[in-house]
Structure 1
Amino acid sequence: MKLLFNLIGTILKLGIYACIYATPVLGVWLASSLAAFSNRSTLLSVIAGVFLFPVLPLLWELWSSYKRRKLGKLGEETLTWGDRLTLRTLLINLIAIIGLLAWQPSNSFIALSTRGDWMLEGMQGEAAEVTRQSLFKIAGGLEGLYNAFNKNPFEQYDDGSSKIRPDPQPERIARNPFEELPKPTNSSSTTKPQPSAKPQANTAKPKPTTEKPKPAESKPIKNAWAWEGQGLHPAIANMPANVETSIESVAKYIVSKESNPVLRVKALHDYVADRIAYDAESYFAGAYPPQDAETVFRTRKAVCAGYAKLLEALGKEAEIEIVYVSGKSRSQVSELSGRGHAWNGVKVNGQWHLIDPTWDSGYVNDPQSGFVKRYSTEYLMPPPEVIGISHFPKDPAWQLRSNPIDQGEFLRQPMMRPKFFADGLSLISPQRSQVDTSNNAVINLANPQKQWILASYSPKGSNSSQNCGQPVQDSQISCPLPSSGSYEVSLFTSSEGQGNFDYVGRLEFNKT
């Protein structure tokens, strides 16, 4: 029995020692991931880790032994030399890790979730993939810290409608939206980046067309996320002014003019996207006026919460089940962490879909230029895996997926817009929102519809951009980056090869 207890004690002690000596490894992993995420040298993080163990604990022990010798207390230690070194290692590295987390509470989770496998870049195979997924699972332990420092101010407007438990859509497409998306026969509307809780910058070059949307005929929709030729619904384009006296009056008018359930939802979406202007001034001031449906209907201004609340209210009056959904959104890779946002879920023909009327209303460049109206249908009921690239609901059920992704996987997804997929494109590589390169930025695509693709690059955080070359119909885009640094490479498409190109996505490359 004594032998058994000794064995158990030895195993426990070895386990404790292993956990303690893992802290330097965790510290180096966190520091190096932050460095990789910021395009800085990971080698310096490794050198710092060697200093934290064993150099600093050994120096501490030598200094302590010297002090005890001077006081004549050498040999009176209660703990062994190994125990003292172990405890010093634990204390030093815990302080270092806590310091890093306190310094970068949000970026720590983002860096570990997106670049935590930097040391495995380019490596394939089962062992590499198991290691990669294990690292990401550990990174998920910091999600609570990230959420604590990234509160969503628009959750307060949820009156409980999102507590409805939607059934996920059938798995029509692969869980990874960049592998086997359905190839639509139609093209989506031509739009620029749309406003989120933080409206995204209008950085597309060349500039898209500025033609006003044309009313569309009321006809069945075969592909509800492409909407080819489906401009502003005629009921909205031709609505008499005396109808717009109340939310109820507008909803009843739409019901009377449109019998198709899908197009009825589109008409409700179109009303909100067309009639409401984004309140850029309030957003940038960080102080929002009331966002209830009645106030938004009366003032014709709102941030994302007001758009979603008005659409929810219109749905109620039209007897269509529309709910308010809140969570995070990210409009471009420079906002990888995401922002608080609100959008809608709608039930049509027994099936739930997602709608973002805010992003379909226009865009905002900056506080000076304000809101630029540009109607779109890009975020009107796209497949869950497509809208899930930019929208991450607080409640995983509102991903509408049979297998919801976690927040880390959400952040790792390349920032492709719905139009990218509506144009029949698939992203083969890279499969991450941020990657390293030692030469050109190379993007591999599947382009079965032979879309013309134009790419441009800009230093991260810069408003100036340069074209990577002439438009091509190739499956590979190679963009020469001028020097070391972080760059955002944007993609634009056109069916003509000249004139207006539409922004469809962006990736970040760190050139070393």
Structure 2
Amino acid sequence: MAGIINASGFFAKKILPQLQCYRPEASDVPFAPPQELSARLASFCSNDMEKVRAFFVWIADNISYKIPEKNTRKKNYPENEINEEDTGALKPLDVRVAEQVLKNKTAYCDGYSRLFKTLCDFAGIRCEVISGYARTNYGNQGSFKPNHTWNAVYVDSSWHLLDVTWASGFISIRSGDFVRYYDDHYFLTPPDVFIRDHYPDDIRWTLLDKWPPIREFNRSPYRNQSFIKYSITSFYPSSGIIEAAPGDTIRIILETGSVSEDKKIAPEPEWDDSTLGRSGWAVAHPISGPSGNKIIYSYTVPDNSPEWLHIIYNEDPVLRYRIRFKKGKLPMNTN
């Protein structure tokens, strides 16, 4: 049965001291109604940036992702199921959802983002819930529909993007448990980086002057969360779908800003070849040491062609390509 693995001890000892604009006292604020919680967290802060940081970190460290029940075709969002006989139903939707999330201490992305917005609203900070598409699952890459929510917040005279759901942890591919593991990458992420895995319904919320078309976003290789840790500057092929037949050799090239610096980064403990070596998955390791800052991979497609090819860098999966099987031999561009 899926549950929660709490890594808050690691969070408190290793992560909190490194965060900028964060007041550690805010970590000890207990659960309370949204308006009271917002005021308590804000009381430790001297400016709006510190308040935004306090709200973000508190939610990530206290709200757990709700594991979807098995054998259900559609997610139920219990934080949105409001008892209309309750006088609280007269409150704004964001507040009602926030109250439910704080009561359950669990949420899906909608609950995370609405709770964050509610805390900001009570603190007088402009915040929006953004709906869009996030590339997270092994699904049909040809489909494109909203499947995620995150936030935009106005602080220090400009809008910024953040995703408190993804910052809070991940679901273990081995056990199905939610693992609380804070990821500060998703706090005020630069827009040109955020767009790599978040595409909003309203393209104005890319916060970019120029944004990639939907097709380009949807067809590029999937970047694992480990990708963002490293200084990878480019990769080949740029398309996330590779057409191949048994016997074809696929060549992958990564280029990084500094191989030596990347080697100092510890790989994620969640992933190894035994985890990735399931049916329909394949793994590609570098064929030799790096050539300068280029890392080269070569993978020969077997008779039982896998559907997914994971590219491993520094013992971390960083990219995932989809192999589209073709009957007969196909010429492969290996240059």
Using the size of structure 1 for normalisation, the TM-score is: 0.49
Distance 1:416 1:472 in 2: 22
Aligned-partner SS, 1:404: coil
Kindly tell me: are residues 462 and 233 of structure 1, through their superposed partners in 2, closer, same or farther at Cα, counting changes over 3 Å?
farther
Matches within 5 A, 1:38-437: 212-213=10-11, 214=13, 215-217=15-17, 220=20, 234-237=24-27, 239-241=28-30, 244-259=31-46, 261-281=48-68, 285=72, 286=74, 287-291=76-80, 292-332=97-137, 334-336=139-141, 337=143, 340-365=147-172, 369-417=176-224, 420-437=227-244
Deviation at 1:327, TM superposition (A): 1.5
What residue number does 2:297 align with?
478
Distance 2:29 2:109 in 1: 26
Contact 1:416 1:504 in 2 (8 A): yes
Distance 2:311 2:60 in 1: 25
What residue number does 1:489 align with?
309
Could you tell me the percent identity over the aligned residues? Answer: 24
Deviation at 1:355, TM superposition (A): 1.2
Aligned-partner SS, 1:280: coil
Kindly tell me: are residues 218 and 365 of structure 1, through their superposed partners in 2, closer, same or farther at Cα, counting changes over 3 Å?
closer
Contact 1:284 1:367 in 2 (8 A): no
Distance 2:316 2:42 in 1: 33
Deviation at 1:411, TM superposition (A): 0.6
Q: 1:462 aligns with which of 276, 279, 285?
A: 279
Aligned-partner SS, 1:250: helix
Aligned-partner SS, 2:253: strand
What residue number does 1:441 align with?
250
Contact 2:8 2:180 in 1 (8 A): no
Aligned alpha-carbon RMSD (Å): 3.6
Contact 1:397 1:404 in 2 (8 A): no
Contact 1:220 1:260 in 2 (8 A): no
Q: Which amino acid aligns with 2:213?
A: D
Query: Higher strand fraction: Structure 1 or Structure 2?
Result: 2
Distance 1:471 1:233 in 2: 46
Q: Which amino acid aligns with 2:300?
A: L
Kindly tell me: are residues 461 and 331 of structure 1, through their superposed partners in 2, closer, same or farther at Cα, counting changes over 3 Å?
farther
Aligned-partner SS, 1:212: helix
In structure 1, the gaps of 5 or more residues are: 1-208, 222-231, 495-500
What residue number does 1:505 align with?
319
Contact 2:132 2:199 in 1 (8 A): yes
Q: Which amino acid aligns with 1:416?
A: R
Deviation at 1:363, TM superposition (A): 2.0
Aligned-partner SS, 2:183: coil
* Segments ≥4 residues shifted beyond 6 Å: 453-461
Aligned-partner SS, 1:297: helix
Q: Which amino acid aligns with 1:331?
A: T
Distance 2:289 2:140 in 1: 28
Deviation at 1:489, TM superposition (A): 2.8
Distance 1:294 1:489 in 2: 42
Q: Which amino acid aligns with 2:62?
A: R
Distance 1:402 1:471 in 2: 40
What residue number does 1:146 align with?
none
Q: Which amino acid aligns with 2:279?
A: S
Contact 2:38 2:119 in 1 (8 A): yes
What residue number does 1:184 align with?
none
Count, aligned residues: 285
Distance 1:284 1:267 in 2: 37
Using the size of structure 2 for normalisation, the TM-score is: 0.71
Aligned-partner SS, 2:136: coil
Contact 1:429 1:444 in 2 (8 A): yes
Contact 1:218 1:233 in 2 (8 A): no
Q: Which amino acid aligns with 1:250?
A: L
Query: Higher helix fraction: Structure 1 or Structure 2?
Result: 1
